[in-house]
Amino acid sequence: MKGLKWLATVSAFALTVCTVPALADVKIEDIVNDAATTNDVVSNGLGPQGQRYSTLTAINKENVANLAPAWAMSLGGEKMRGQETQPLVKDGVMYITGSYSRMWAIDVKTGREIWQYDHRLPEGILPCCDVVNRGAALYGDKVIFGTLDAKLVGLDAKTGKVVWTKEIDDFKAGYSYTAAPLIVPTKAHGALLLTGVSGGEFGVVGRVEGRKVDTGELVWSRPTIEGHMGSLNGKPSTMTGDKVNASWPGDLWKTGGGATWLGGTYDPDTGLAFFGTGNPGPWNSHMRPGDNKWSCSRIAIDPETGEIKWGYQTTPNDGWDFDGVNEVVSFDADGKKLAATADRNGFLYVLDRTNGAFQAAYPFVNKITWAKEIGKDGRPVYVPENRPGDPKAGKDGKKGASVFAVPSFLGGKNWMPMAYSQQTKLFYVPSNEWGMDIWNEPVAYKKGAAYLGAGFTIKPIFEDHIGSLKAIDPLTGKTAWEYKNRAPLWGGVLTTAGGIVFFGTPEGEFKGLDATDGKELFSFNTGSGIVGSPITWEQDGEQMVSIVSGWGGAVPLWGGEVAKTVANLNQGGMVWTFKLPKKLAAN
């Protein structure tokens, strides 16, 4: 953490540098209907369902090759690291977050900064996987985001001045916040701000919270680990799970993990919010026999009360750090209300989103070792010899038997969001083909210390590629096409009715592929690796596309042998916005 000590000197400020366009308040209807509107992007995922699909067609297969930069803006300074944000756009203003808990408002016509906010970060923050931030939320006249010292900050959208600040939890215990908040409608409380917590590697207990948007005041809290008590309106509500120790031994549930570090999605059809939960603590699964609910799970929450309506666990008794946090994307097919989620464990799951009933699971990466398949009951069929060994069974009790596991703990798919096309009916999944040597070690919980009980080294499994963008049919599991990339893919995906799939690579290329067959139609080098998520919207009759470039994230920090493949990539921080030249757009 030595490289972060200078953060204590960073002060919070908001600086107005140009005229602010006229802004209208963002209403809850704007958020719920975001997927159907084209002149703004007011939610993470281009709609709370998280499909990341745009109905715009001005940029299409025939002309996307002519896409050109309209403007670019540097994030400046020395605070580069990974830029994993997804921009938001409203009334001619773009809002982006950046590494080290920063935010900007940008004039989308010129690319000029309107204001910048730098959060004051204290000594001793404990970010697990780079100092990233994945985006903000817009509501009313405010823009809201979370910080690395586990706070929520509500800013005036016009000026960048702080309206309110709330502490999520104690950053010294390992808590932090990196996700884009989710805003949903409720009858009892109006619009609620839903947030999770980061810190799964430090023995924290995950939870989802609902807060009033105007003040940040807590309405309800729902822990994700069995045995912990929730709250509603300042009073205890119900316990998570049936009883204490139902699937956890001893007192391990008290530091059980299950961090909700990626945030959630919302389905207006069912009125449910979907959150994923992370790995159990510690990684050493021999210390905690049982399913360890609700770690490595997808849970459906009633936003009115914070009650869990259903839960589905992808990796019971996880022994490989296969977090279950990945986004739950709502879609309809065969007359059913379904949801899909691509897990770190290498399987794409399809669930009935009304009740969580298991429909199907398909492997989307190669050479999976930890499980033979997902059974008809929705539970994995484990390969016992491919679970890291119990240290107690070793000669000295200090290290269990090492195994080579696929995928690695960074996952078949990690945080980077996939996209679903209503046109092709395919999911576009940014995946990685890699494995790891992993072994278990003894460990005891200590506040603010890593709580792993495991060692690992990540290794590639193919010579020519690690990253793989796959177009997958969720009803059959078949891969329609695959785009292979030498370096790991670590950024989000966008697809459009124009038949394009947009995404970026660590090598810095922002690409547009044919959504039907994967043929490359467009590529532009942004100068730094891309780990952010692209958006598109309509501005003054023209379709715009934006991506934030800036290499970083977990791969260079945790990637073992794989990290060598990206060791020479440049960090950066740039917002790139593209459009078609007018004479071409008119054709």
**Whole-number Å distance between alpha carbons of 559 and 529:** 16
Question: Smallest Cα–Cα separation from 298: which of 320, 269, 268, 330?
Answer: 330
Which tokens sit at 365? 């990466």
**Whole-number Å distance between alpha carbons of 587 and 574:** 30
258 CB contacts (<8 Å, ≥6 apart)?
A: 200, 205, 206, 223, 224, 225, 277, 278, 279, 280, 294, 295, 296, 297
Amino acid symbol at 314? T
Question: Residue 2, class by beta-carbon neighbours within 10 Å (0-12 exposed, 13-18 middle, 19+ buried)?
Answer: exposed
For every residue of 258-301, DSSP letters joined together read ---TT-EEEETTTTEEEEEB--BSSS-GGGS-S--TTSSEEEEE
> Rg of the chain over CA atoms, in angstroms?
22
Which tokens sit at 202? 């430090």
Residue 201 CA, distance from chain mean position: 17
> 557: helix, coil or strand?
helix
> 361: helix, coil or strand?
strand
323-333 burial, b at 16+ Cβ within 10 Å, e below that, comes to bbbbbbbbbee
**Whole-number Å distance between alpha carbons of 220 and 215:** 14
Q: How many residues does the chain have?
A: 587
**Whole-number Å distance between alpha carbons of 523 and 65:** 8
Give the sheet arrangement for strand 88-90, strand by strand: 88-90, 93-98, 102-107, 113-118
135 CB contacts (<8 Å, ≥6 apart)?
A: 44, 85, 86, 87, 88, 96, 97, 145, 179, 180, 533
Residue 321 annotated as catalytic: yes
> Between the CA atoms of 326, 332, 334 and 340, what dihedral angle is there, to the nearest 10 degrees?
0
Question: Smallest Cα–Cα separation from 412: which of 357, 349, 352?
Answer: 349
Choose the catalytic residue: 149, 321, 323, 343: 321
Question: Smallest Cα–Cα separation from 535: which of 197, 38, 46, 92?
Answer: 46
Helices vs. strands in the chain: H and E counts, helices first: 4, 40
**Whole-number Å distance between alpha carbons of 318 and 84:** 27
For every residue of 428-463, DSSP letters joined together read EEEEE-EEEEEEE------TTS----EEEEEEES-S
Active site residues: 321
